[in-house]
Amino acid sequence: MRMLIIDDDLPARTFIAEGLRQQGHTVDEAAESESGLHMALDGAYDAIVADRMMPGPSGVDMVRAMRAADLRTPVLMLTALGSVEDRVEGLNAGADDYLVKPFAFSELSARLQALIRRPPLAARPTRHVVADLEIDVTAHRATRSGEVLELTAHEFKLLEMLARNAGHTVTRTMLLESLWGFHFDPRANLIDAHISRLRAKVDRGFDTDLIHTIRGVGYVLKDPR
């Protein structure tokens, strides 16, 4: 099996990687979420072990970006935060299992094996509906109140990601990671410019705005009524 370990804690990462290698697995390592996401998207891994708390984008944001990019590899998330709320957040972000530090390697190994034995994740929905907005991913078509929206390829991908996370805030970092990779500063206005053009097509001329700004964080697609 081929595994990816993403953890900024070198002793912890080495401990896990060496244990898996002794079991005969091929193991790649990443020290932070940006390179970890690139490796996850570029490599064919059987499972990923990711720490929750890392510099820059968190493990939770990283897993969200993986799922937004349609990566279905099982993810075991590690954390020193053991509250129910923390575990729920990680699982809702797309992690498949959660292991609280400190842990025994035997338990981590058993959990990874259980994840690998699971059937593949269900196919992603190809149709999204938010209020009077309908998105058909297969047909690459979006309509609002029956009116076809003329979107560019990037605008459609952006709208699709917002729709897949409808009702939840999608951060600028998540959008950059999944649509453009980590080649841009998240403080740059690339996302803002695309959102502005998307708003002009999705919201302008309609009674209700569906794309909302969460100041300093990102955007959310929702029906405010």
Tens-digit pLDDT profile for residues 126-179: 889 999 999 998 889 999 999 999 999 889 989 998 998 889 888 877 777 666
Query: Candidates 1.10.10.10, 1.10.150.120, 1.10.1200.10, 3.40.5.10; correct CATH number of 127-221?
Result: 1.10.10.10
Q: What is the pLDDT of residue 180?
A: 63
Q: What is the pLDDT of residue 80?
A: 81
- Sign of the dihedral through C-alpha 117, 13, 92, 88: positive
Average pLDDT of span 47-67: 89
Tell me if domain 2-117 and domain 127-221 are identical in fold: no
Q: What is the dihedral of CA 72, 26, 177, 170, to 10 degrees?
A: 50
Indicate the domain borders of the chain. Answer: 2-117, 127-221
pTM of the model: 0.57
Contact indicator for 138, 184 with CB cutoff of 8 Å: no
- CA-based nearest residue to 182, from 19, 8, 36: 36
- CA-based nearest residue to 75, from 55, 102, 94, 103: 94
Is the pLDDT at 31 greater than 80? The verdict is: yes
Tell me the CATH number for domain 2-117.
Answer: 3.40.50.2300
Q: What is the pLDDT of residue 190?
A: 79
pLDDT tens track for 175-224: 776 666 554 555 557 788 889 999 999 999 999 999 999 988 889 999 98
Residue with tokens 């020193």: 80
Q: What is the pLDDT of residue 102?
A: 86
